[in-house]
Amino acid sequence: MIKVGQGFDVHQLVNGRKCIIGGVDIPFSKGLDGHSDADVLLHAISDAILGAAALGDIGKHFPNTDPLIKDINSREILKKVISLLQQKKYSIVNIDATVICELPKLTPYIDQIKKNIASDCNIDIDRINVKATTTETLGFTGRGEGIAAQAICLIESN
C-alpha cells in the first residue's frame, strides 16, 4: 500500500535567534522563532510523514507546551518521526519540499540540507528534493517577516 501526506509550517523571523533550515545553520541577520530550533523545513517534512502514516502532526507528538523539548534540535524530531513510521512498518518512497522566503538565499545550502534529511530518514539522497522560492516580495515572506515551508511525502508499507 502507498500513502501520501503533506506538511506546511511557518515561523517568524526575529533578532537573536539562529536561522536553522534543514538542519543547517544559515548565516543570516535574523533567525526563526519557536519552542524548538524552529526549523521550518524539517517541521513541514515531519508533518508530511506523520500525515502519510495517519499519525497526527508534530504538535501532537512534540507540543510547544512541553518544557522538556524546549529548544530541541528539529533533526531529533525528524528522527523520532522516522521511528514512529518504522513502527507502523512503512518506509519513505520520496520527499519533495519547498522553502518559501526572500532571504536568506538557500541555493548554496541545498546539497547539505538534502544530505541531512536523507541521513535522518535513513534513505538515499536521490529520494529527497528540496527547492527554494520567493513570493516576489508579496506577503509576510516577501516582507521578510517569516519563512514558510511545504512538503509532500510518499510512503509504502514494508
Q: Is 127 annotated as a binding residue?
A: no
* CA dist 36 → 75, 127, 156 (Å): 10, 26, 29
Q: How far is the C-alpha of 106 from the C-alpha of 40, rounded, in Å?
A: 13
Residue 64 is labelled as binding a ligand: yes
Type of residue found at 93: V
The 3-class SS string of 71-105 reads CCCHHHHHHHHHHHHHHCCEEEEEEEEEEECCCCC
**Which residue in this structure is represented by grid cell 508530511?**
48
Q: Is residue 8 marked as binding?
A: no
**Alpha-carbon distance 37 to 11, whole Å?**
10
Instruction: Tell me if 28 is assigned to a ligand binding site.
Output: no
43 is in an annotated binding site: yes
9 is in an annotated binding site: yes
Asked if residue 11 belongs to a known ligand binding site, the reply is: yes
Q: Is 61 annotated as a binding residue?
A: no
Does 137 show up as a binding residue in the annotation? no
Q: Annotation-wise, does 107 bind a ligand?
A: no
Work out the number of other CB atoms within 10 angstroms of the CB of residue 15.
8
58 is in an annotated binding site: yes
Is 136 labelled as part of a ligand binding site? yes
The answer to whether 15 is a known ligand-binding residue is: no
User: Would the annotation count 65 as a binding residue?
Assistant: yes
Residue with cell 517534512: 45
Residue 17 labeled ligand binder? no
Binding residues for a divalent metal cation: 9, 11, 43
Feature table: binding site: 9-11, 35-36, 43, 57-59, 62-66, 133-136, 140, 143
